[in-house]
Structure 1
Amino acid sequence: MGADGERGARRAPARALAYGALGVVLLAGCASMPDSGDLSGVDSTPQQDTQVRVFAMPPQEDAQPVEIVSGFLEALTSDDPTYSTARQYLTGQASKTWDPTLSTTVLANGPGTEPVHSGGRDNSDDQSFTLTGARVARVDSQQAYSPDSGSYDAPVHLTKDKKTQQWRIDRLPQGVVMGKTDFQRNYMSVNKYYFAVGAAAGTPTAVADPVYVRRRVDPMTQMVRSLLNGPTNWLNQVVRTSFPTGTALQKGVAALAPDDQNKLTVPLNKSAARVGPTKCNEMAAQLLFTLQNVTPALDEVELRSGGKQLCSLNEDHAVAARGSVNAPGYVYFIEGKSRLVRIAADNTGTKADPVPGPLGENDKELRSVAVSRDEHSAAAVSADGRNLYVASLESGDSLGTPVLVSHGKSDKDRLTTPSWDPQGDLWVADRDPDDPRLLVLQRGKGEPLSVKIPALDGRIEDVKVAADGVRVALVVAKGTQRSLIIGRIERGSEGDKPTISVLEPRSITPDLEDITAMSWAGDSRLVVVGREQGGVQTLLYVQVDGSTPEGPAPAALSGVKEITATDSDLLPLVAYSEDGIVRLQSGAQWQKVVTDGMAPVYPG
């Protein structure tokens, strides 16, 4: 299950997560390895049924060094919760110092092994190998995923035990290493949830923090521990948790599972014993949001400490908001190059109606629009990219004067498509080469704030703020390359003036060199239109950490210029392509809506 899963399907019966009930598969390990010779690589284990637990073989008697290394690498890809079989390939001291939880290095293929020839005697009591491969990703000790690149090489040293005369590994890299296929079989992405700091008063806004956990090693308990440990470093500055400092599972709790009423009881230590009802309900909401990624049928969470109930929360009680507070009422687009029209978001028809207000009666040519999340206002950029207008989506006067004017010399050097954040502020980038800026107009008016982006390398071509208000997606051009960047939004003040910064921007599409369009499509997921080097245009989903979520990519569509999506899988993707405005319902094919239309947007 991907971290953004099918939200609309959460109430459907869950796919069973097996904890070993259906069988055990033993990895062949070193049993199939030759007695001598060099190792060129350890093939990734074939994909197994996700309901089957996979365990490794322990080392055979008198196994040779090449067999020990191969068996150890195979054991790393098993479902052994504590890597007890893998430790049998190590000396006692190496087993004590080796920590497999520090990191997971993901390689394009299974790790290769190259012997290191020392020039010593053939019957020496120590041998060395180098693990090699091409890095594609890394999962750190907080279980946070990040794309990676470059070559991998790590030394492994073996020694022969003087008493048993058995070869064992005595020096090895910390963490685990495996090929991409094994990683996809062993791990799954799950969102854990915290709350945005600095949000407006009212219902807290939940923010998804995706992590990778081992798929068949009690993922529910793994996720509870991960949630209690706090947010990942990248997100930590802009989110908070309602769990008191030091909160952990009660001592002795080994595994958690819902009862037959789909209720999960979580026993916590004494750090949570004195929490008040409001905080307790927020804690329960964090758990409920998080664990419904693992078990969609989960209905209720009860928190206990010291044998007493602290609170109980079911999904019908909205103590926090996940994603957009308001479900989109309409999808909007420009008809006839000037008039803003809309179709009900859940309407499968093709008849569009003009919006109320001046943009529905407009005669100025437009390039792009953005509709506020409450659908009360809209921003529009003129066809030449020079002027930004903001108008009410209610009956009113003329479009009026622009709230922002770009002085770029060509239409490609002027304003991007704008984007509204959950606070009701309007974001837009001015691409003027003489004064490139990312700007925010508070409530869509007044003097724009210039956003600080100290580490950005390139020019912003597109801006989309997430529904959580703490992340922004940017298409950034440098030379001929256009990359998708995710940045963290931090708000502050200097004296009596508010400040906004976008910090630690990171690329999440390293394999794509030309991003054509993108849109948020879930709590931690985006839909992207891009092109690989020398390849054709493709549509795909990508996580905010740069990983690829499970499940199918959107159906292929040629000539895509713009795309928009919502947090809900129940509402269609809508795109502007060479065929006009088209939409894609989940599990269906692209359907033409209108030919004479452009710039489709959902609110946001």
Structure 2
Amino acid sequence: MGADREGSAGRGPMRALAYAACGVVLLAGCASMPDSGDLRGVDSTARQDTQVRVFAMPPQDNAQPADIVSGFLEALTSDDPNYSTARQYLTKQASQTWKPGLSSTVLADGPGIDTNHLGGREETDDLSYTLTGTRVARVDEQQAYSPASGSYAAPVHLTRDKKTKQWRIDRLPQGVVMGKSDFQRNYMSVNKYYFASNATAGTASQPAAVADPVYVRRRVDPMTQMVNSLLNGPTNWLDRVVRTSFPTGTALAKGVTTLTPDDQNNLTVPLNKSAARVGANQCSEMAAQLLFTLQNLTPAVDQVELRSGNARLCTLAEGRVDNVAARGSAEQPTYLYFIDNKSRVVRMATGLDSSKAAPVPGALGEGAKALRSVAVSRDEDSAAAVSGDGKNLYVGSLVSGSSLGDPVLTSKGKTEQDRLTAPSWDAYGDVWVADRAPGDPRLLVLEQGKGEPIVVKTPELDGRIQEVRVAADGVRIALVVAKGDKSSLLIGRIERRQETAEDRPALSVAELRSATPELEDVTTMSWAGDSRLVVVGREQGGLQTMRYAQVDGSTPEGPAPAALSGIKEITATEFDGLPLVAYSEDGIVRLPSGEQWQKVTDGEAPVYPG
């Protein structure tokens, strides 16, 4: 994590013990024991090989108070599973009451150490310091990430033991605190999976899997961490719209502290007696949750076996999981769709070898109505398109000879900018669109693309919707919202209430939160994974940028897409191997993996199904 304060002056020698595949090595970088008692901030350590485990050093005899504080802070960034070394810097009572798992506070740089009180005489047995910094994020007790801002200040008090004369920390903030780079080195984001609680995906019988991203310690048995996190239930933000198939109280069997797949990539998960009476279907869903979760973490699990006591509950292999639950779109997209220079809906095969587009079957491909945007159902049987002036929404079948009919929705906005956004299909076959008419702005849903639209309640919305994209799971929605001269990417939770099957559902979008707090202006976005989006926008005072963003506001690992100026619209899919596609100043362009943007053809408004 040298990026935080690399090269800062006055840093003392650092020692750490690390284990690598090739043996035991000594690294410079984790626990520091400065030679003097000068006060200074604790630098974030230089980023190490992610396969190397770094362990902290315990306090030296007669260490000065500043050394105790800085040594403790650096011990927080080590790979010690239970923070046992960090606890050696604390008094016995403080160690018993300190709860490091309560939260992780992430600062822009390593925490600074400010003198707070030195006592009234030269020799004192009590000292107090303040940890300082600028907040970047917080990970809570559920391991859920949320962006944060503002200054950080937390008191740390030390006392000198009357018998041993050793300084120790006796009062400190709960949780852990570290710089951004140390956080990135120590933690990683992993999706755990639950099921949409209010409907099945489309007309299929399988439940729809929903990703719930959490942060776990990278080198502290992440597999077991993720299983425990999954069993503990969904994070608070997602809890109201998902369910788990694990019975209440389910946990790992007593005495099970680590999980490891065998040499055939099979993982046995022993559960306590709460899971002992589950039926075959429920057990298969439990196993599907585990497989989705663990395969998001590692490719080393091909099959899971659930046991309780001496009984085997069920076994589920990777090849059968799609028969149990739907994760993302049921099928890989066959076509990419866009509007050609004749204002028709056209499509081309999704393969990289394809560059020839043809009008879609049916009325939307005939050019009788000038169109400016389109969305295609996830089964690719139907499409919804907005007229060239943004006033009307049409829904038509992608079947030769099908007619278009009257618009299913008409905006009363007086200008094109005050009318309809591009539509989006959800996992249940419904069409979402925003009407931006200044006198009556609304987020609307047309069930199965027809009938009287349902007005979606958006009590927390502050601004005007510019773009709408519903996630494949049907329970999360991404909105680009403009307010003044700025626009933001917000993620909301879709809540559905329906008293009986005959009633129309009541829909609302709750707990909107920013996915790109560092961007001042968002131009366009698209879902690009189960919990990831690709975003085009502008940083404060900067040029246009393109990046990936997590739904929780964190930045995923890996490189950003290759830069391209003048992007107006972008589309992606959760399926690996399909390129990003954009509408730019050059027309329709695409980005094959590991390459540069390539011109495909003329046109605008490209979309994958969804």
Normalized against structure 1, the TM-score is what? 0.95
**CA shift digits 1:367-398 (9 cap, x unpaired):** 11111111111111112111111111112354
- Among candidates 576, 597, 608, match of residue 602 of structure 1: 608
**CA shift digits 1:231-280 (9 cap, x unpaired):** 00000011111111111001111111000000000111111111111111
Which residue in the other structure is 2:295 paired with?
292
Q: What letter is aligned with 1:514?
A: D
- Among candidates 438, 449, 463, match of residue 454 of structure 2: 449
Which residue in the other structure is 1:214 paired with?
217
Unaligned runs of 5+ in 1: 1-17
**CA shift digits 1:83-137 (9 cap, x unpaired):** 0000000000000000000000000000001011355112111001100001011
Which residue in the other structure is 1:7 paired with?
none
Q: Equivalents in 1 of 2:25, 2:85: separation in Å?
A: 14
Q: What letter is aligned with 2:39?
A: D
Q: Equivalents in 1 of 2:116, 2:477: separation in Å?
A: 47
- Among candidates 522, 539, 556, match of residue 549 of structure 1: 556
Which residue in the other structure is 1:373 paired with?
378
Kindly indicate whether residue 591 of structure 2 is the aligned counterpart of residue 587 of structure 1. no
Q: Equivalents in 2 of 1:50, 1:586: separation in Å?
A: 24
Unaligned runs of 5+ in 2: 1-17
**What is the CA distance between 1:351 and its match in structure 2?**
0.7
Give 3-state SS (helix, strand or coil) of 1:142's partner.
Answer: coil
Q: Equivalents in 2 of 1:409, 1:58: separation in Å?
A: 70
1:103-122 alignment to 2 at 5 Å?
A: 103-117=103-117, 120-122=120-122
**CA shift digits 1:274-315 (9 cap, x unpaired):** 111111111111111111122213110001111111111101
**Cα distance change, pair 494–407 in 1 and its aligned pair in 2 (3 A):** farther
**Cα distance change, pair 93–32 in 1 and its aligned pair in 2 (3 A):** closer
- Among candidates 247, 253, 260, match of residue 257 of structure 1: 260
Q: What letter is aligned with 1:506?
A: R
Q: What letter is aligned with 2:415?
A: S
1:409-424 alignment to 2 at 5 Å?
A: 409-424=414-429
Give 3-state SS (helix, strand or coil) of 1:68's partner.
Answer: helix
**CA shift digits 1:166-195 (9 cap, x unpaired):** 000000000000000000000011100111
Give 3-state SS (helix, strand or coil) of 1:93's partner.
Answer: helix
- Among candidates 272, 282, 299, match of residue 269 of structure 1: 272
- Among candidates 477, 485, 488, match of residue 480 of structure 1: 485
**Cα distance change, pair 30–209 in 1 and its aligned pair in 2 (3 A):** closer
Q: Equivalents in 2 of 1:576, 1:28: separation in Å?
A: 46
1:117-132 alignment to 2 at 5 Å?
A: 117=117, 120-132=120-132
1:84-99 alignment to 2 at 5 Å?
A: 84-99=84-99
Which residue in the other structure is 1:15 paired with?
none
- Is the Cα contact below 8 Å between 1:19 and 1:216 reproduced in 2? no
1:37-436 alignment to 2 at 5 Å?
A: 37-39=38-40, 41-117=41-117, 120-200=120-200, 202-317=205-320, 318=322, 319-436=324-441
Give 3-state SS (helix, strand or coil) of 1:220's partner.
Answer: helix
Q: Equivalents in 1 of 2:298, 2:415: separation in Å?
A: 52
Give 3-state SS (helix, strand or coil) of 2:282's partner.
Answer: helix
- Is the Cα contact below 8 Å between 1:31 and 1:60 reproduced in 2? no
Which residue in the other structure is 2:497 paired with?
492
**Cα distance change, pair 590–489 in 1 and its aligned pair in 2 (3 A):** same
**CA shift digits 1:318-362 (9 cap, x unpaired):** 211111012111000110141111111124221111110011111
Kindly indicate whether residue 511 of structure 2 is the aligned counterpart of residue 504 of structure 1. yes
- Is the Cα contact below 8 Å between 1:418 and 1:427 reproduced in 2? yes
Q: Equivalents in 2 of 1:37, 1:68: separation in Å?
A: 12
RMSD: 1.5
**Higher RCO, 1 or 2 (CA under 8 Å, sep at least 6)?**
1
Q: Equivalents in 2 of 1:80, 1:261: separation in Å?
A: 29
- Is the Cα contact below 8 Å between 1:130 and 1:155 reproduced in 2? yes
Which residue in the other structure is 1:534 paired with?
541
Which residue in the other structure is 2:573 paired with?
566
Q: Equivalents in 2 of 1:392, 1:31: separation in Å?
A: 67
Q: Equivalents in 2 of 1:237, 1:289: separation in Å?
A: 20
Kindly indicate whether residue 537 of structure 2 is the aligned counterpart of residue 517 of structure 1. no
**What is the CA distance between 1:27 and its match in structure 2?**
6.3
**What is the CA distance between 1:365 and its match in structure 2?**
2.1
Q: Equivalents in 1 of 2:133, 2:330: separation in Å?
A: 45
**What is the CA distance between 1:31 and its match in structure 2?**
4.9
Normalized against structure 2, the TM-score is what? 0.94
